[in-house]
Chain A
Amino acid sequence: MIEIKDVTKLYKVKGKEIVGVKNVSLTIDKGEIFGIVGYSGAGKSSLLRCLNLLEKPTSGEIKIDGIPITELGKKELREERLKIGMIFQHFYLISAKTVFENIAFALKAAGKTKEEISSKTNELLKMVGLENQKDQYPSQLSGGQKQRVGIARALANDPKVLLCDEATSALDPNTTKSILSLLKSINKKLGITIVLITHEMEVVKEICHRMAIMQDGEIIESGDVYNIFANPEKELTKTFISSVIQMDLPEPLLKNRKGTVIKIQFKGAIAEEAVVSELFQNFRVKGNILHGKIEYIQETPLGIFIMELVGEEAEVKRAISYIESRIENLEVVKQVA
Chain B
Amino acid sequence: MLDSILNILPDLNKAFFETLYMVAISLGVSLVVGLPLGIILFVTDKGLLFENAWIKQIAGILVNLIRSVPFIILLVALLPLTQLITGTTIGPTAASVSLSVAAIPFFARLVETSLREIDKGVIEAAVAVGATPWMIIREVLLPEAKPGIVQAITVTAISLLGYSAMAGIVGGGGIGDFAIRFGYYRYDNTIMLTTVILLIVIVQLMQVIGDGAAKAVNKR
A and B physically associate = yes
Chain A interface residues (CB < 8 Å from chain B): 52, 54, 78-82, 84, 86, 88, 90, 92-97, 105-106, 108-110, 137-139, 150, 153-154, 156-157
In the bound complex, do residue A94 and residue B130 qualify as a contact, i.e. CB atoms below 8 Å apart?
no
- Write out the residue numbers on chain B whose beta carbons fall within 8 Å of the beta carbon of A90: 119, 121
In the bound complex, do residue B143 and residue A52 qualify as a contact, i.e. CB atoms below 8 Å apart?
no
- Write out the residue numbers on chain B whose beta carbons fall within 8 Å of the beta carbon of A109: 126, 129-132, 135
CA gap between A106 and B129 in the complex, in Å: 6
CA gap between A153 and B139 in the complex, in Å: 15
Given contacts A88-B121, A95-B219, A96-B219, contact A54 B135 (CB under 8 A): no
In the bound complex, do residue B219 and residue A137 qualify as a contact, i.e. CB atoms below 8 Å apart?
yes
Contacting residue for B122 out of A86, A94, A154, CB 8 A: A94
- Write out the residue numbers on chain A whose beta carbons fall within 8 Å of the beta carbon of B81: none
Additional pairs, 12, CB under 8 Å, beyond known A88-B125, A94-B140, A109-B130: A78-B130, A78-B132, A81-B128, A81-B130, A84-B128, A92-B122, A94-B139, A94-B143, A96-B143, A97-B139, A109-B131, A110-B130
Nearest CB of chain B from residue A60's CB, rounded to whole Å: 20
CA gap between A90 and B121 in the complex, in Å: 8
- Write out the residue numbers on chain B whose beta carbons fall within 8 Å of the beta carbon of A81: 127-130
- Pairs across A and B, CB under 8 Å, 24 listed: A54-B127, A78-B131, A78-B132, A86-B129, A88-B121, A90-B121, A92-B124, A93-B125, A94-B126, A94-B140, A94-B143, A94-B144, A95-B122, A95-B144, A95-B220, A105-B131, A105-B139, A106-B131, A108-B131, A108-B139, A109-B131, A109-B135, A150-B125, A157-B130
Q: Which residue of A lies closest to B143 (CB)?
A: A96
In the bound complex, do residue A153 and residue B129 qualify as a contact, i.e. CB atoms below 8 Å apart?
yes
In the bound complex, do residue A92 and residue B121 qualify as a contact, i.e. CB atoms below 8 Å apart?
yes
Given contacts A97-B143, A137-B219, A139-B220, contact A92 B129 (CB under 8 A): no
- Write out the residue numbers on chain A whose beta carbons fall within 8 Å of the beta carbon of B124: 54, 92
- Write out the residue numbers on chain A whose beta carbons fall within 8 Å of the beta carbon of B122: 92-95
- Write out the residue numbers on chain B whose beta carbons fall within 8 Å of the beta carbon of A95: 122, 144, 219-220
CA gap between A96 and B143 in the complex, in Å: 6
Contacting residue for B146 out of A92, A93, A96, A110, CB 8 A: A96
**Can you list the 9 inter-chain pairs with the closest CB atoms, starting with the nearest?**
A96-B143, A81-B130, A92-B125, A82-B130, A109-B131, A92-B121, A137-B219, A86-B128, A106-B129
